[in-house]
């Protein structure tokens, strides 16, 4: 158990809908990273927050957004969902920035029908 929690475990929804994925980092970790894992693209970095502020952006679509709250938990919002958004979404946390080890949560499996 990495200490990173994610809810829900599974999410099934329809195209055009909006969902929110939640992540609680390990106790004391200030950085939260979101990754998307699909069969064709592999594991790809989406966005990173550090102590409430956005610090880095990867291949995140404009339909996706995220935030980190004062208690350090983070939410990833996915809107106007398309079939191609079906994937595993992972959250990882680390103590700080840069070279700190990232610990991954168990993931949320999103299925868009």
Which residues would be at the binding site for other proteins (CB under 8 A)? Answer: 2, 4, 31, 33, 35, 42-45, 48, 50, 55-56, 58, 90, 92, 94, 97-107
Q: How far is the CB of 13 from other proteins (least distance, A)?
A: 20
Nearer to other proteins, 14 or 27 (CB): 27
Q: How far is the CB of 93 from other proteins (least distance, A)?
A: 11
Rg over CA atoms, the chain: 13
Nearer to other proteins, 38 or 65 (CB): 38
Residue 7 bridge partners (DSSP): 22
Token pair 């700190």 is found at 100
Nearer to other proteins, 27 or 101 (CB): 101
Q: How far is the CB of 16 from other proteins (least distance, A)?
A: 27
């Amino acid at each position: 158990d990495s200490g990173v929690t994610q809810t829900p475990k599974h999410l099934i929804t329809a195209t055009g809908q909006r969902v929110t994925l939640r992540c609680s980092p390990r106790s004391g970790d200030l950085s939260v990273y979101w990754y998307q894992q699909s069969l064709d693209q592999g594991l790809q970095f989406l966005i990173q927050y550090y102590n409430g502020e956005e610090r880095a952006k990867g291949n995140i679509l404009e339909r996706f957004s995220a935030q980190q709250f004062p208690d350090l938990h983070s939410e990833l919002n996915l809107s106007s969902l398309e079939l191609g958004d079906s994937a595993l979404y992972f959250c990882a946390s680390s103590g700080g920035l840069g070279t700190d080890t990232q610990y991954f949560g168990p993931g949320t499996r999103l299925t868009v029908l």
